[in-house]
Amino acid sequence: MKTVYWSFNHYKTHPYNFALGVCDIKPVLSQVPRFLVDDEKNMSYIKCPAFTDEIKNTFMLKAPFSFRVYKVNNGLEFEGLDLDVYTKILADNPIYGKMWHITLGFVFFSDSPLEMSQQHPFLHNKNSVSKWGNVLQGKYDIGKWFRSLNLAMIPHPNTTELSFSQGDILSYIKFHTDEKINFRQFEFTEKNAMYMQACLNYKKTKFHGIYPLSEVYSAFERNKFRKLILEEIKNNLID
């Protein structure tokens, strides 16, 4: 069994703490769309070992808040949150064809090497961000790096808004192991934020280009960050 520690980095959206809006992390197959359940041929697909092996240890990441931004004439209008909140969580203009980057603040960490990937919620067309665009996939080792997991998307052509409601599915997260996942929640502290900022700062120290993951992993382990972060996490476990 693999233990995955998780939390919500409210320092990322400080002073706006959305932790109370965070939903439980559930397996994708615990919320199968009706069109798959009601059709026998579709059910044979989701029972196929080729699919079940691939979807194993894949979970839904749900929105901790409601959000809407849309184009009006040459400007933007916002709903659901105060304007200054949007400036904290929306990194790029979502209207003019650029990549969307939304600050969410989810944090996952492991006491041993464990790769985690973020995926588009391909089974869920309703109650998800699929209507507006496609989630960009990525993968990193949550036992060798400490960062917040956010949401990056490519908008569909001619899309003029982005919106979702609290509890909507933002993406899937998959843990690349055959072992069962045991989630343990912890309170994200100022010391956690300090360690995370050190990781982000290290990525900026290269004069030209970007460090490969192998290099940032080496720096992380060389400076015993896993031990330091685990100590802080275990001192602040919620369950």
Q: What residues are paired with 28 via a beta bridge?
A: none
- Establish if 144 belongs to a structural domain: yes
Q: What is the rounded (10 degree) CA torsion for 44, 50, 55, 56?
A: 110
Report yes or no on 228 lying in a domain: no
Q: How many angstroms separate the CA atoms of 111 and 39, rounded?
A: 42
159, part of any domain: yes
- Least confident range from 172-176, 196-200, 232-236: namely 196-200
Whether residue 121 has pLDDT greater than 90: yes
Q: What is the pTM of this model?
A: 0.89
Confidence of residue 70 (pLDDT cuts 50, 70, 90): confident
Identify the pLDDT of residue 213: 94
Do residues 191 and 198 touch, judged by C-beta distance below 8 A? no
Question: Is 45 a member of any domain?
Answer: yes
Q: Is the pLDDT of residue 34 over 70?
A: no
Residue 22, both tokens: 């965070």
Q: What is the DSSP letter of 237?
A: B
Taking residue 177's Cβ as centre, other Cβ atoms within 10 Å add up to 18
pLDDT at 14 over 60: no
Cα distance between residue 118 and residue 59, in whole Å: 10
pLDDT of 112 strictly over 80: yes
- Residue 230 covered by a domain: no
Strands of the sheet containing 58-62, edge to edge, are 58-62, 169-175, 115-119, 138-141
- 238 found inside a domain: no
DSSP letters for 42-110: HHHHHTSHHHHHHHTTEEEEE-SS-EEEEEETTEEEEESS-HHHHHHHB-S-SSSSPPEEEEEEEEEEE
Number of domains composing the chain: 1
**Domain-located, residue 145:** yes
CATH number, domain of 21, equals 2.70.40.10
Instruction: Report the alpha-carbon distance of residue 184 to residue 235 in Å, rounded.
Output: 12
Residues 63-71, mean pLDDT to the nearest whole number: 82
pLDDT in tens, 135-189: 999 999 999 999 998 888 888 888 888 888 888 999 999 999 999 999 999 999 9
| Containing structural domain, residue 154 | 2-186
* Run of H or E including 188: none
Classify residue 67: in a domain, yes or no: yes
For residue 96, pLDDT beyond 70: no
> Is pLDDT above 90 for 5?
yes
